[in-house]
Structure 1
């Protein structure tokens, strides 16, 4: 059934595929936000009874969760802290200077300054400013409305964290999927670069460079989801046993990022050589082509379940075979540009070994 659905999905226009994929990937966090908003409203209005219209409770729940898995605990703390700071500063000042245009300026400036002084989070000053503005314009100073808003914020933040703990998005799945997506792009870019070098096709080599450059957003998302996955594994009892596995997945973030960066440098060197009419040896081009297979086995490793093929050792065997061919003697009697290219290739192989779980010293030893 799934292959049929995938084939049907591929019949859609590219822009619609992108938007549907984005919606599908955000489905879990959207459901979490919706459930948290409803629960926060119910708890704030029916259980605590502090506010007959606790509109800020569901808002706080949604803001604390967001669509990103990362830093949800941090967002909840920042949200509640910002609201409390804004209410306290606004209430104290409005009692002394009253309400009006210039009073709003003073209240907002002091609330944001206080928030920045106490914390460097981006959410705290914004919430402090909005809460101080409410006190200076709508809420009566010294009343219970400001206190109720702070309670609502606390309820919303706590409910958001409870929803994450009870109905978590699979943290390992998103992290593995993000990493696999980057590695898939690099696989295709490696094959494209090798073809461009064989045919001295400047457009193909430039296209490979652009493909590698375009991964930066995906790498940023990968890092965020890996960090968010670790946070979920600490909050949710359902994933406490996955902490070690998520730690191993998160350890691949730096070497994947480094491999992409080194591949960009390799592509820029290759582009310069093609533009000057220089030719790389066929043996070096074959190694670049084999990078495609290495990135593919690393992609499969990221998506494989524990105990399935390929695991880290399986992927390391593939990288080791490429490493044996990328010997320093390739640079003997080569031009300066080709020597630099071989050095860059060896750097990428070190990054690949580290994606397989090797420490840097062990990865370097594989190339000696």
Structure 2
């Protein structure tokens, strides 16, 4: 039965449009709403009931801003936000008290606020919050209004603390986003390799232009993957409820360089396949099968990471590793046709590199993955290891 081939864009849409992915996005959106609602209400109550502030405007505002921060380092940025808001509110109170409201006063207040912020921190977040806090005081909350003075500065600190506490007590999964981004990238790599195998088999460039364009535009996805892993690590540091997931988060972080390298190698492979097809050259059937097998393994890994069941991974990863071992042992110089052209050698080399990358995605060290490759040198840096059940035909 012929293998069903799908294009790069179709595979991407399949991953993005899956019911599981949609459900995950809905859960994430509802969790964000719940965090903001609970955190803002709690901060307002603490500032009003515990500290006796009549109108603690800055407490819930700071919570919402902190919860809206994306990416990693939310703890550091929350501290910067609290510092910027505190300095801005205090400085605004002081300057408006002596300068008063007005057009030229706003310019002076903002200028002085940004100057002070530049000495306090180099972070743009601190500078922005200092200026915003001063502007709020100079326009809608001037000195003398209810809840003014040092109380406003304390409200900003309360909001920052409550915001971080809300993240810790109502945490999102530290793994789901990172796994989904890994699945998306492996899905794209699979489709690119699938398109390459089709082009090499037919000797026609076909959809290679589109595949190359798709893989060239994956840098934002790579950045999202790295940011999602960073958020996951931060979540396991901040929330006691997620401390048990630290080992799995570290395991996910270890494979990210291999996923990124898979994309880079797939890009080079696709470009070289395009050159080969444009030149009218062909490759051996064995080399086509190697690329095709890599596409299928990458697709299986994509499906695996798009799920959430560790038990499934435990049963499926060994099978994929076995297939990669067999592939690595067979990807030697004999896969090149007699009088093979340069592009054919490059395609073999990139296929070997992707095999190593995918073994690392499966949890292998780079040294072990390199030693699985059939040697192409008399003095390989990583001597080839013979695995039971793979080399019997050679004995």
TM-score (norm 1): 0.84
Change (3 A) 1:27 1:260: farther
Question: Match for residue 128 of structure 1?
Answer: 130
Distance 1:28 1:276, change over 3 A: farther
CA contact (8 A) 2:187 2:302 kept: yes
Please name the residue that 1:189 is paired with. Answer: 192
Q: How do residues 114-263 of structure 1 correspond to structure 2 at under 5 angstroms?
A: 114-140=116-142, 145-263=148-266
Look up the match of 1:6: none
Moved more, 113-122 or 264-273: 113-122
Q: CA deviation at 1:225?
A: 1.6
1:313, 1:290 → 2: CA distance?
16
Q: In the aligned structure 1, how far is the partner of 2:339 from the partner of 2:149?
A: 77
Q: Tell me how far apart the structure 2 counterparts of residues 232 and 284 of structure 1 sit (CA, whole Å).
A: 44
Q: For residues 248 and 73 of structure 1, what CA distance do their matches in structure 2 show?
A: 22
Change (3 A) 1:99 1:321: same
Q: Give 1:198 deviation, angstroms.
A: 2.0
Q: Kindly state the Cα deviation for residue 217 of structure 1 after the two structures are TM-superposed.
A: 2.9
Residue from 73, 78, 81 that aligns with 1:79: 81
Q: Is the 8 A contact 1:304 1:310 kept in 2?
A: no
In the other structure, the counterpart of 1:295 is: 298
TM-superposed deviation, 1:245:
1.2
Structure 1 residue aligned with 2:29: 26
Task: Tell me, yes or no, if the aligned pair for 1:300 and 1:310 is still in contact at 8 Å.
Answer: no
Structure 1 contact 297–310 (Cα < 8 Å) conserved:
no
Conservation of the 8 A alpha-carbon contact between 1:301 and 1:310? no
> Shift of the alpha carbon at 1:185?
2.7
More helix by share: 1
Deviation track 1:162-191 (CA, whole Å, cap 9, x = no partner) reads: 122211112122322222232223223321
Q: Post-superposition shift, 1:53?
A: 2.7
Larger radius of gyration: 2
Counterpart in 2 of 1:5?
A: none
1:357 maps to what in 2? 363
Selected match of 1:305 from 309, 316, 334: 309
1:346 aligns with 2:333: no
What is the deviation of 1:18?
9.6
Aligned-partner Cα distance in 2 for 1:265–1:209: 9
1:237: Cα distance to partner? 1.4
CA distance in structure 2 between the partners assigned to 1:146 and 1:340 by the alignment:
69
| Aligned-residue offset at 1:90 | 3.6
CA RMSD of aligned residues (A): 3.0
Secondary structure at the counterpart of residue 252 of structure 1: helix
Q: Which runs of 5+ in 2 are unaligned?
A: 1-12, 376-395
1:204-260 alpha-carbon deviations (Å, 9 max, x no partner) = 112222332343333222222211111111111111111111111111211111111
TM-score normalised to the size of structure 2?
A: 0.79
- Structure 1: distance between partners of 2:69 and 2:202: 44
Count the aligned residue pairs: 354
Can you list the C-alpha shifts for 1:328-364, whole angstroms capped at 9, x where unaligned?
4445742122222222222222221221222223322
